[in-house]
Amino acid sequence: MFFKLVQKNFDYIIIGAGAAGLMLTDAIGSDPYFKDKSVLLIDKDAKKSNDRTWCFWEKGEGDFDTIIHKSWSHIEFAGEKYQGSYEIAPYTYKMLRGIDFYNYYFDRIGGYKNVLFSQALVSGIKDHTEHAVVTTDVGSFKATQVFTSVFNYKSLYNQTKYPVLQQHFIGWFIKSEKPVFNPEKATFMDFSIPQKGNTRFMYVLPFSETEGLVEYTLFSTDTLAEEDYENAIKDYIREKLQCPNYEIIEKEKGNIPMTCYNFSVNNSGNILNIGIAGGWAKPSTGYTFMSTKRKISELVIFLKKNKSLSSFNAKTRYWYYDLLLLDILDKDNNKGRRIFESLFEGSSPQLIFKFLDEETNLSEDLQIISSCPKTYFIKALLNRIF
């Protein structure tokens, strides 16, 4: 699969061998319908490092089960006053290591005759109506359709219509001297920490009694200095986990956009943004992995039916719910803890997962909405209308 690229024209060029790019390349490569379509996958990176962990909830068995690192059937939530511990059946909370995902997909993609991979830095993509041209540091390539997962925050800040928050975090993978974790229960959100005017929580994934990921996460407009995240993690490990002695095995950091911005304006006839660049991160939570899987299935149907991709990212009622939450958090970032606390106090995690997966019916939506502080949402709605 690694070669000097002499071929210059392709049917599809996919930029980015991350979550969206690899899932799309695999979906096209493995489907006999596309066997005559030539595909070029480009990434600046060789994807050999474990740069992230992905978690998602799912009912029963799923497509990633062979590479799942750990899963939990029990989660915990903690607010200021309310705490809950839940069995989440029929859901399971599953965790995937980035490196296992990359190896698995590169291995599969290497077996597709119509797919080539090039490690190259993309510097430009231009739509020429009949085709698009991708410029890289190893040459230029032409395709009738380009899918790109190159994301840039700049486009989000060039508008003021929709607030732009970020889910930003640093996580430490630690090994403790004594048992401090319960490997059966993942801490989904622990808000029992100082909020400092923001929406801040801890996320803990225990792998064994002595190993786990402890992540300090904010939903807010501005990132922090690195030492602020790290001091909060240290405090939590010492005070909450009661763990004085531990070793840091690995670290991860991330920053996911939380916005209802219309990402489709960056698309054109021959260029479609995918993944985070396509607006596939859930605005209210930052969860992207499973929505990417769902979007890829939809996209493949569009391609097979030759449907115009201009109607690909249709708005749903969930977009409005997300918008109201982001409006509230943008205006008063301190309100997040109260909202999530009410949500978990008033609804089961199963219903919350279903809602976040955008699979609820209207009466279930009302159940969720009525468990949240209503005045916040009514005010946000009136502000949007007027």
Ligand X SMILES: Cc1cc2nc3c(=O)[nH]c(=O)nc-3n(C[C@H](O)[C@H](O)[C@H](O)COP(=O)(O)OP(=O)(O)OC[C@H]3O[C@@H](n4cnc5c(N)ncnc54)[C@H](O)[C@@H]3O)c2cc1C
Cα–Cα distance measured from residue 339 to residue 330, given in angstroms and rounded to the nearest whole number = 13
The torsion defined by the Cα of 230, 235, 240 and 244, in degrees rounded to 10, comes to 100
| Residue linked to tokens 């060789």 | 46
Q: Of the two residues 253 and 379, which places its CB atom closer to ligand X in the complex?
A: 253
State the minimum distance, in angstroms, from the CB of residue 254 to ligand X: 3
Q: Of the two residues 289 and 340, which places its CB atom closer to ligand X in the complex?
A: 289
- The secondary structure of 91-115, three-state, reads EEEEEEEHHHHHHHHHHHHCCCCCE
Contact footprint for ligand X (CB under 6 A): 15-21, 42-45, 52, 54-56, 121-122, 149-150, 252, 254, 256, 275-277, 287-289
Reduced DSSP (H G I as helix, E B as strand, rest coil) percent helix, strand, coil of the chain, to 5: 35, 30, 35
State the minimum distance, in angstroms, from the CB of residue 92 to ligand X: 14
Tell me which long-range contacts 177-181 makes (C-beta under 8 A, separation of at least 24): 177/210, 177/243, 177/244, 177/245, 177/246, 178/210, 178/243, 178/245, 179/209, 179/210, 180/209, 180/210, 180/212, 180/241, 180/242, 180/243, 181/206, 181/207, 181/208, 181/209, 181/210, 181/211, 181/212, 181/241
Enclosing H/E stretch for 63: none
Q: Of the two residues 239 and 250, which places its CB atom closer to ligand X in the complex?
A: 250
Helices (H) and strands (E) in the chain, counts: 10, 17
Q: Of the two residues 42 and 243, which places its CB atom closer to ligand X in the complex?
A: 42
Enclosing H/E stretch for 316: none
Pull the structure tokens for residue 78. 């903690």
Strand bridging mode 139-148 / 74-78: unpaired
Q: Of the two residues 42 and 343, which places its CB atom closer to ligand X in the complex?
A: 42
State the minimum distance, in angstroms, from the CB of residue 382 to ligand X: 32
Q: Of the two residues 48 and 196, which places its CB atom closer to ligand X in the complex?
A: 48
State the minimum distance, in angstroms, from the CB of residue 252 to ligand X: 5
Question: Chain centroid to CA 49: how far?
Answer: 18
State the minimum distance, in angstroms, from the CB of residue 139 to ligand X: 13
Residues 6+ apart with CB under 8 A from 270: 127, 128, 129, 131, 132, 143, 144, 145, 146
The torsion defined by the Cα of 304, 115, 292 and 66, in degrees rounded to 10, comes to 120
Sign of the torsion formed by the C-alpha atoms of 183, 184, 186 and 191: negative
Contact between 342 and 369 under an 8 Å Cβ cutoff? The reply is: no
Q: Of the two residues 263 and 321, which places its CB atom closer to ligand X in the complex?
A: 263
Residue with the closest Cβ to ligand X? Answer: 18
Pull the structure tokens for residue 320. 């409005």
Q: Of the two residues 15 and 299, which places its CB atom closer to ligand X in the complex?
A: 15
Q: Of the two residues 210 and 288, which places its CB atom closer to ligand X in the complex?
A: 288
Q: Of the two residues 288 and 342, which places its CB atom closer to ligand X in the complex?
A: 288
